[in-house]
Amino acid sequence: MKALLFAAHGGPEVLTVAEVPAPHAGPGEIRIAVRAAGVSPADDALRSGAWKNMFQIPLPYVVGVDAAGVVDQVGPGVEGVRPGDEVYGVRPGGATTAEFAVFDLWAHKPAAWSWSEAGGAAGGVATAAHALDVLGLGAGDTLLLDGASGGVGAVAVQLAVARGIRVIGTSSPANHAFLASLGAEPVAYGPGLPARVGTRVDAALDVGGHGDVAELVTLAGGAARVRTLVTRNVAHGVSLLRVDPAGVPAALAAAAALAEAGRLTVPVAAEYAMTDGPAAHVRIARGHARGKVVITVREAIK
Ligand SMILES: NC(=O)c1ccc[n+]([C@@H]2O[C@H](COP(=O)([O-])OP(=O)(O)OC[C@H]3O[C@@H](n4cnc5c(N)ncnc54)[C@H](OP(=O)(O)O)[C@@H]3O)[C@@H](O)[C@H]2O)c1
């Protein structure tokens, strides 16, 4: 099968579409014919070698941690799904940007989402839903999302709003109307955030990893009320959020139900063909995508 991979670390140009053996659904897994896959900052960090000392990855490495497509194999022990079903899923170990990918963390794709939306949804949903659970927020609470307009943030805003949480979200000024359209109260990011927010919050999530977590601790009234998604911002007593796989299938199914009710969209910032993988990585590395960057896989299959 064709897959988007790199055989050595380097710039976006090391990405290439190449033939690799297709995976097969093992026990507890399904295999899908991929229609679209998400592009994440993690893909860029793994490809460039920035995370070489943190994660051992096999080379060649097929990029992508989420995707959507049509089920064509159902492994032993898997129930509630048949070949031909449309699903979306997340695979923390990568290998989703290919003609076929296997998943054990998946849910049925909501009909309300296009393939591109579904392909880029699962990583953000899994991360955002887990963050809301860990922070223990409920209706009437106030959450600050620092870096709210990207792939994870745009989903986190909507999941929080759906739980009745008041959301204050930071972004560049160009994305303030976008954040408001998702249900957040927009504020500019950068130094001096407590003064601009102007109120205490019940919890804060450092999504983008660019701000000063000390300011988030001040706003939330303690480090225990703050989590960061980004290793470089683990400081001032703030812990890194680590998604618990056990909760992911239920979170994906709940998000699909919200989507069917018209309460959760996956804003797609840009779509690239698999053969344009390097351009997709250049785009995600800039760090300013409005929503999710997505790779469509069908073109490469023709
Ligand atoms: N720990 C985990 O389990 C986990 C899971 C998923 C993702 N992550 C990490 O979470 C991070 C965010 O992922 P993503 O997919 O949402 O990234 P993304 O789509 O690139 O979004 C980045 C966000 O950061 C904002 N931003 C850019 N420059 C900023 C600055 N100087 N100050 C404050 N905010 C700034 C952007 O706003 P503007 O566009 O308006 O500038 C945007 O809202 C990545 O580092 C990713 O690796 C961690």
Name the pairing type of β-strands 106-108 and 142-146.
Answer: unpaired
Helix (H, G, I), strand (E, B) or coil at 49: coil
CA of 147 to the centre of ligand 1 (A): 6
Percent of the chain with pLDDT over 70: 99
What pLDDT digit, counting tens, does each position of 95-124 carry?
A: 999 999 999 999 999 999 999 999 999 999
CA of 280 to the centre of ligand 1 (A): 16
Beta bridge partners of 250: none
What pLDDT digit, counting tens, does each position of 122-154 carry?
A: 999 999 999 999 999 999 999 999 999 999 999
Q: What is the mean pLDDT of residues 172-199?
A: 97
CA of 172 to the centre of ligand 1 (A): 12
Cα–Cα nearest to 24, from 16, 32, 15: 32
Output the pTM of the full model. Answer: 0.97
- pLDDT value for 301: 52
3-state helix, strand, coil in the chain (%, to 5): 35, 25, 40
Ligand 1 pocket residues where CB is under 6 Å: 40-42, 123, 127, 147-153, 171-172, 175, 189, 207-211, 229-230, 240-241, 243, 287-289
- pLDDT value for 196: 98
d(CA 93, CA 95): 7
CA of 86 to the centre of ligand 1 (A): 28
What pLDDT digit, counting tens, does each position of 11-58 carry?
A: 999 999 999 999 999 999 999 999 999 999 999 999 999 999 988 999
**How confident is residue 298, by pLDDT bands cut at 50, 70 and 90?**
confident
Ligand 1, atom 37, lies closest to the CA of 171
The DSSP code sequence of 122-178 is: HHHHHHHHHHHHHHT--TT-EEEEES-SSHHHHHHHHHHHHTT-EEEEEE-GGGHHH
Instruction: Return the best residue to mutate from 51, 135, 230, 244 for the ligand 1 pocket (most ligand atoms within 8 A of CB).
Output: 230
Is 3.40.50.720 the CATH classification of the domain at 125-240?
yes
Q: Which atom of ligand 1 is nearest to the CA of 174?
A: 40
User: What CATH number should be reported for the domain whose range is 2-121+266-301?
Assistant: 3.90.180.10
Instruction: Return the best residue to mutate from 229, 232, 243 for the ligand 1 pocket (most ligand atoms within 8 A of CB).
Output: 229
Helix (H, G, I), strand (E, B) or coil at 182: helix
Give me the residue spans of the domains in the chain.
2-121+266-301, 125-240
